[in-house]
Structure 1
Amino acid sequence: MSGKKHYQQGESGSSFTYPMQVANVKQNDYAILKGFPCLVTEITTGKGGKCGHIKAYIIGIDIFTGKKYEELCPILHNIEIPFVKKYELQLIGISDDDYLTLLIENGEIKEDIKLPDDEPQLVEKLKADFDNQKDIIVSIIQAMGQEKVISYREIVN
């Protein structure tokens, strides 16, 4: 993967996002900031400007890249909220090019998730634990048509 990714802003009928009034967005919610799915880390409101609209200053971290984004929006306007899903799958293999072989609950295999490039410690530790024959469950976050491994744990029998 090269360059930065841009995500489609949700339109009516979009399966990736839904609208929410800015006044209802809270810290630790998800929101689309500058076109990217972010975890809101800070939200502050200021006084009304010349036209009297109170604005919210929203700061968030992209859930896939960790990059910080900021947005200033009137609190009565809507902002797009991404549908975010977290799930876990059992790891059964790692390819030479860092794609994971994962076991889905129904017994099928999923092989389209790559280890994250931006978290070398996680990748190194996961590979070492897998090489040491440990049974591993990976946690995956999914939004905007993308998926990323965010953590893992050992299955203890």
Structure 2
Amino acid sequence: MSDTDIDFASGDAGGSATYPMQCSGLRKNGHVVMKGRPCKIVEMSTSKPGKHGHAKVNIVGIDIFTNKKYEDISPASHNMDCPHIKRTDYQLLNISDNFMSMMADNGDVREDLQVPEGDLGREILSKFEAQDDFLVVVLAAMGDECAIAIKSMNK
């Protein structure tokens, strides 16, 4: 393969979706990867070191996208992956075929996110039909994205 065969069009910096953190450094309301999913830590407890081992950390987390509950136990001295989480506010412009058309602060428009299911989706649709101006809060982590909340626009 020669230098001219390399494709630079993707623009991916190759950064990792996660970073390592020692279990003893994790905190409640922080984020951690459990069973391959980004989770918010809702409960943590540490057991004392036993006769043949390390202190153990028992972690209970809720998946930030599906709200599914996960539990994990790990030695306090070992590392666990923590997800890089990006939170962005978008102004809702339009809804077409259950896809939201939204504009970021810098003027970029995206139309690739669906209206979420459940109460949040119903609230977004009703506010849109009432022609209210509001922001949609979008959470992105480990290649997944979804709308998690809405907030009123302060003008």
Pair in the same fold by TM > 0.5? yes
- CA drift of 1:22 comes to 0.3
- Alpha-carbon distance in 1 for matches of 2:76, 2:154: 47
Find the counterpart in structure 1 of residue 104 from structure 2. 104
Find the counterpart in structure 2 of residue 151 from structure 1. 149
Identity %: 39
- The answer on 1:92 being equivalent to 2:90 is no
- Alpha-carbon distance in 1 for matches of 2:123, 2:54: 49
- CA drift of 1:92 comes to 0.2
- CA drift of 1:80 comes to 0.2
Which residue identity does 2:40 align to in structure 1? Answer: L
- CA drift of 1:105 comes to 2.5
- Alpha-carbon distance in 2 for matches of 1:50, 1:63: 36
Return the TM-score normalized by structure 2. Answer: 0.86
- The answer on 1:135 being equivalent to 2:130 is no
Larger radius of gyration: 2
- CA drift of 1:45 comes to 0.6
Structure 2 CA distance for partners of 1:136 and 1:47, relative to 1, 3 Å = same
1:37-79 alpha-carbon deviations (Å, 9 max, x no partner): 0000011011223422110000000000000000000000000
Structure 1, gaps ≥5 residues long: 1-12
Find the counterpart in structure 1 of residue 53 from structure 2. 52
Find the counterpart in structure 2 of residue 3 from structure 1. none
Find the counterpart in structure 1 of residue 10 from structure 2. none
Structure 2, gaps ≥5 residues long: 1-13
Structure 2 counterparts to residues 17-36 of structure 1, below 5 A: 17-36=18-37
Give the secondary structure class of the aligned counterpart of 2:19: strand
Which residue identity does 1:88 align to in structure 2? Answer: D
How many residues are treated as equivalent by the alignment?
142
- Alpha-carbon distance in 2 for matches of 1:114, 1:50: 52
Which residue identity does 1:152 align to in structure 2? Answer: I
1:3-34 alpha-carbon deviations (Å, 9 max, x no partner): xxxxxxxxxx7520000000000100000011
Return the TM-score normalized by structure 1. Answer: 0.85
- Alpha-carbon distance in 1 for matches of 2:140, 2:24: 25
Which residue identity does 1:141 align to in structure 2? Answer: L
Find the counterpart in structure 2 of residue 70 from structure 1. 71
RMSD of equivalent CA atoms: 1.4
Find the counterpart in structure 2 of residue 40 from structure 1. 41
